[in-house]
Amino acid sequence: MSTMRVTRLEAVPVSVPLREPFTSALGTQTTSDYGIVLAEADDGSLGVGEISLIWHGDGAALCDAVNTLLAPAVVGMNPFEVTRFQAVAADVLAFGRHSLAAVAGVETALLDLAGQAAGQPVHSLLGGLARDRVPLSMSLPVAPVPQVLARAAELAGQGFRTVKVKGAGDHDLLVAAVAALRAEHGPGLGIRVDLNMACRLAKDAVTLVRRLEPYGVLSVEQPLPAADLDGMAEVRAATAVPIMADESVWSPDDAWRAIRARAADVINIYVPEAGGLTAARRIADLCAVAGVGVAVGSMPELGAGTAAAAHLAFSVPRLDQPSDVAGHLYHAGDVVTTELVIEDGFLLPPTSPGLGVRLDRDRLEACRIR
């Protein structure tokens, strides 16, 4: 039994540019303003976690919450005791969804420490490998059809087998892009569609999803606003394409509500929105019990957050759709190096003890928000 203790906890706000601006129904993202969590233990090891959250575009406030509220409570804790940590975090942090990303970042750093101490990758602490590779999906921003085709051809040339087409208000543009992708690549390309809540009414979403049916899409993600579970259920019932919930489901209790409302065929699970790997796993377990499909989503995360998502994707009981576990590829630079290996569009399992990332202190300083 480990008697290891956390001796220091710090969150550093960072800003890392994307390789190119990314446009979806949520707007245009040019940088990821996140946080990096550093947890030191009494055996001299360093655990790394990431606070990733696009929703208000600034990890700095969450880093401040970690440094002022969580750090005093976490120092002295055994990093293996993540269930106890979750209870402490719930007591210490103000109620609010955004704080889930901070909890996730700290829990990831604790699990990194625990995995290193155990000499095992983090996925071993979550039940071990349930699969030997994870099919990846790469996202295509909202753009004119020729640009969508060009980017998809580039990705296909790199070996990726599934793309996710982002849709916004212009439904004709979305249908044209999906039709053009199918015409150019044939049945071999997996096509996902993500509306990021772009439809206002269930009947509009039904009309749009029916227009997409002939092109054999794997799923249509979050056609309606997050709270409209009844509408999502209506779209599901009226169409043949699997409907995926993303913005509707952050935490395990959201997943429970979405499952009870029959709002989704598949739930897209995010480590930061769930509140960490163990909460994300709880959602996956709910899905397994309820017969609902699972995908793993991305903010997109930097390397540390992507590694956390990878450990989840490799260990969940079911994984039904190609997943977005490649956030680091969208960024120009990083503050860690990862051991993530992608082969023929599949992610291979991390094998090093812990999270499998190495912090680059110089890069951390270069990206630090002051």
| Residue number with CB closer to Mg ion (78 or 298) | 298
CB 199 within 8 A of CB 224: yes
d(CA 156, CA 53): 28
| Residue number with CB closer to Mg ion (226 or 348) | 226
Beta bridge partners of 12: 36
| Residue number with CB closer to Mg ion (114 or 280) | 280
Min dist. Cβ of residue 26 to Mg ion (A): 9
Min dist. Cβ of residue 349 to Mg ion (A): 24
Q: Is 246 in the site for Mg ion (CB under 5 A)?
A: yes
Tell which residue, 278, 329, 322, 320, has the closest CA to residue 299.
329
Identify residues 216-235 at the interface with Mg ion (CB under 5 A): 221
Min dist. Cβ of residue 136 to Mg ion (A): 15
Residue 281 CB-half CA count within 13 A: 24
Min dist. Cβ of residue 268 to Mg ion (A): 6
| Residue number with CB closer to Mg ion (107 or 246) | 246
# residues near Mg ion by CB under 5 A: 3
Burial class (CB within 10 angstroms; exposed 0-12, middle 13-18, buried 19+) of 133: middle
| Residue number with CB closer to Mg ion (275 or 354) | 275
Give the residue at shortest CB distance from Mg ion.
Answer: 246
Is the bond preceding 141 in cis, omega lying within 30 degrees of 0? no
d(CA 289, CA 281): 12
| Residue number with CB closer to Mg ion (33 or 194) | 194
Min dist. Cβ of residue 171 to Mg ion (A): 17
Min dist. Cβ of residue 24 to Mg ion (A): 8
Longest dimension (CA), the chain: 60
| Residue number with CB closer to Mg ion (139 or 278) | 139
Identify residues 151-170 at the interface with Mg ion (CB under 5 A): none
Cα dihedral 124, 130, 133, 134, rounded to 10, equals: -100
Instruction: Tell me phi and psi for residue 176, to 5 degrees.
Output: -65, -40
Identify residues 184-203 at the interface with Mg ion (CB under 5 A): 194
Burial class (CB within 10 angstroms; exposed 0-12, middle 13-18, buried 19+) of 111: buried
Min dist. Cβ of residue 270 to Mg ion (A): 9
Site mask for Mg ion (CB under 5 A), range 342-361, x = bound: --------------------
Residues within the interface to Mg ion (CB under 5 A): 194, 221, 246
